[in-house]
Amino acid sequence: MVSDAGNYPEPMRNGETMVIYDRPEDISKTIERRLNDATWDAIGQAGNRAIREEYSKGRQFERFLELV
C-alpha cells in the first residue's frame, strides 16, 4: 500500500507494511525508490499479511465478543 502521511491502524507501519509519501508530487519518486531497492515485494507481503490477520472474520468476532 502506498498512501499519504497520516494516522493508520497499528499493523500499518511505514517501510514495513506500507509506504507513505508527504506530498502528492512525491508519489512516483517514492514508488521508484522502493522498486529500485527491492523492498517492494517484502513490504507488500507484510502489509497483506497484517491486514488479513488484523481484519480477519475471526478477529472481528473476537472484538465483537469483547463489546458484549
Strands 19-21, 2-4: pairing kind: parallel
Which amino acid is it at 63? R
How does residue 18 score in pLDDT terms, banded at 50, 70 and 90?
A: very high
Residue with cell 500500500: 1
Residue 10 has pLDDT above 90, yes or no: no
Angle between helices 40-54 and 27-36 (to 10 degrees): 110
pLDDT at 14: 92
For the residues 31-55, what does the mean pLDDT come to?
89
pLDDT at 40 over 90: no
Q: Is 32 exposed, middle or buried (0-12, 13-18, 19+ CB in 10 A)?
A: exposed
Task: Note if the pTM is more than 0.75.
Answer: no
